[in-house]
A and B are shown apart, each in its own frame.
Chain A
Amino acid sequence: MSASSTTAGSRGGVVSVASREVTRAEVEEFLYREAQLLDEWRLDEWLTLIEPGGRLEVPTTDWAGWDATTAGYFVADDYELIQARVKRLKSRKAHAENPHSRTHRMVSNVLLLEAGAETVWISANFIIHRYRDNGAYTYVGRYEHVLKVDPDGLRFRLRRAVPVMESMDPGARLSFIL
């Protein structure tokens, strides 16, 4: 089910998970810090935000809620592939990102959708501007993340970026972390 169809959720931006409260402010802070790490290409630090066993997903633009075991995706990484992706992107031989794209991320409309036993399901909107080779590309979409709630912070169990564009524009590849 897609998050956009869910109307239930937190009241006042607070949910209870595993005997502690998670606030929208905490989730916003987490997403802003993540955006900063990605924009600054601090990928090793970014990787620590993913729980071992976590997943990274980007569905295709025709996505109608299919999961990555039943339909084509742009990205359907398990944890090993996330690690391989980070290792690749740090290499000078990742030609598509050497030199790195300049990216600039705006994250907003953060909602706490549903609390689980040890997770919180959140959504947020994003706009990412990417610049490379005198080209400018805009990626517009929605995050639908499942965050593991630790006593002292949050980590991604599922990090899903759902593009809302009808297709990837000319030159708008997904060689970076969306």
Chain B
Amino acid sequence: MAQQTPVRPLGATGDGAMIDEDWEALRFRVHRSAYRDPEVFRTEIDRIWNHTWLYLGHETEIPKAGDFKTRTLGGRPLIFCRDAGGEVRAFFNACTHRGTVLCRHSEGNTKFFQCFYHAWAFSNSGELAALPGDDAYPDDPAFRASMALRQVPRLQIHEGFVFVAFDADVPDLLTHLGPAAHYMSLTAKIGEHGMTTLPGVQLYSVKGNWKLAVENAMDGYHFAPTHNTFVGYLRETGFAVTDDDQYAYDLGGGHGLLVLTGHNGRIGMVWEPRFGDEEKTRTVAKRRELEARLGPELAAEVADASRILFVFPNLLLFDLEALTIRQLEPVAADRTDVRAWQFVEVGEPESVRALRIKTMVSFVGPGGLATPDDIEAYEAVQRGITATADSADPAHDWSDMSRGMANEKQGNQGRSIDEGAMRSFWRRWAEKVGAGTSVAGDPPAGTPAAGPATGGAGK
């Protein structure tokens, strides 16, 4: 029995707290209304999505002047485009005249966005370019200027990852990203000629709260039981999955990182039998290329370990066998839309590209051999947590995330199979939405490491 302290009886915290953290009992729990309550969901949209940097898309999705995608973010329809001068922009996708959805295509290339309703047209940098029957409007340039397409207040780009904020008063993107920026940079350095998203975007939706998708990605504990059949498949290809000596990091700001060395190989960087002999030879050459370009230490940091990075609140970057960018779009307390892009090296050989796509989608995505079981988990939680809602005994309407607290209290680095990365996410969540937190006992002193020591994963 690892637990030295008697467990306190369960019960309501008494002060309406949604997060109950107890460092004597070594217990951390989240009230299940956090996943369920439409009021909590509205508060999240208001306090998180309306006032935080959000991942919009990657600039390689719109490589040429005039390219655009339309995409809903935090419930707001947006146009994500590159203007005639090559600048990346984000506009609210609503005509300034009456609010009609301006661009009804999901993607394309255009110099002008024209509203079909009254034929107002806007340039791809937002100016009102055509105002039919303008003799009946004020003859004043200020009028036209006031009707320019509404730009999202903030847009900044880090390593090609485009973020926007609906609130002009957010801190700079790099301040928001903190140590997470470094891990995005590591991934961006994989390709000698850069990295790009591919067409063929996985668009799907799950009947579960968005935070269940975050938890799942930061939760190494579920991997072996949930993905039993995938682990079995890897074993048959000659690769044995292990969870030993792998760690989770709190990057601050709600961002989290799992660094994994025993779950999979990495195409071009760490060979495993499933990748085939041709790739084995190429891996040696690719590692040499990385070392020559980045130096041995940085090359090792880029290549040796897999990483699952969560950037609060809506970006998951899976840098595993291959790479997937996943974006979470909360639709309702019990529904989340998911978008996922393959992220690949520019200019890699066709056979490697094919291997990358085959390997990644065999694992990640709603048609893979693993993600469907994760979706099953989110959806089964969402259904299951109605069992304890509004019951006569409120003690049971909590979800437990205590795993590894004793270890954390001793000041040790949290393992990937503990629940520390989830706890740090929930603390940040509570701070942002203003949810009550009850803390008993003394939390561990000192600041946890914001990532593994340079030059490798874990210790």
Residues of A within 8 A of B (CB): 58-64, 66, 68-78, 81, 84-85, 87-88, 91, 93-97, 133, 135, 166-175, 178
Contacts and interface: CB of A to CB of B under 8 A. Distances in A.
A64 B337 CA distance: 22
B202 A60 contact: yes
13 contacts: A58-B367, A61-B203, A72-B361, A87-B233, A88-B232, A88-B233, A94-B373, A135-B207, A171-B205, A172-B205, A172-B366, A174-B372, A178-B367
A66 B200 contact: yes
Contact of A173 (B200, B226, B228, B372): B372
Contacts of B361: 72-76
Given A91-B229, A173-B372, A72 B202 contact: yes
B265 interface: no
A116 to B, nearest CB: 22
Contact of A72 (B106, B199, B230, B379): B199
B204 A167 contact: yes
A76 B357 contact: yes
Nearest to B324: A72
Nearest to B334: A170
Given A84-B369, A88-B229, A171-B379, A69 B201 contact: no
Given A84-B369, A172-B205, 18 more contacts: A59-B200, A60-B200, A60-B203, A68-B357, A71-B200, A72-B198, A72-B340, A74-B361, A74-B365, A76-B362, A91-B229, A91-B232, A93-B229, A94-B229, A133-B379, A167-B204, A168-B204, A174-B366
Contacts of B367: 58, 73-75, 173-175, 178
B289 interface: no
B353 to A, nearest CB: 6
A71 B233 contact: no
Contacts of A85: 369
The 5 closest A-B CB pairs, nearest first, are A72-B200, A71-B200, A74-B367, A69-B354, A167-B203
A89 to B, nearest CB: 8
B341 interface: yes
A135 B198 CA distance: 32
Contacts of A175: 366-367, 372-373, 375-376
Given A66-B200, A88-B233, A171-B207, A96 B358 contact: no
A66 to B, nearest CB: 6
Interface in B350-385: 350, 353-354, 357-358, 361-362, 365-369, 371-373, 375-377, 379, 383
Nearest to A171: B207
Contacts of A91: 228-229, 232
Contacts of A62: 106-107, 199-201, 203
Given A69-B353, A93-B229, A94-B373, A78 B200 contact: no
A69 to B, nearest CB: 4
Contacts of A87: 229, 232-233
Interface in B167-215: 198-207
Contact of A73 (B200, B203, B228): B200
Given A87-B233, A96-B376, A170-B206, A72 B201 contact: yes
Contacts of A75: 361, 367-368
B428 interface: no
Contacts of A84: 233, 236, 362, 369
Contact of A77 (B205, B207, B362): B362
A173 B198 CA distance: 21
B383 A93 contact: no
Nearest to A178: B367
A17 B203 CA distance: 38
Given A78-B358, A95-B376, A171 B206 contact: yes
Contacts of B233: 84, 87-88
Contacts of B232: 87-88, 91, 93
B200 A63 contact: yes
Given A87-B233, A95-B377, A170-B206, A81 B358 contact: yes
Max chain B Cβ within 10 angstroms of own Cβ: one of A166, A175, A178: A175
A99 to B, nearest CB: 11
Contacts of B335: 170
Contacts of B93: none
B342 interface: yes
Contact of B350 (A66, A69, A72, A166): A69
B199 A170 contact: no
Nearest to A165: B203
Contacts of B229: 87-88, 91, 93-94
Contact of A71 (B199, B226, B331): B199
A94 B227 CA distance: 8
B204 A173 contact: yes
B205 A169 contact: yes
Contacts of B366: 74, 168, 172-175
A96 B228 CA distance: 12
Contacts of B202: 60, 72, 74
Interface in B217-267: 226, 228-230, 232-233, 236
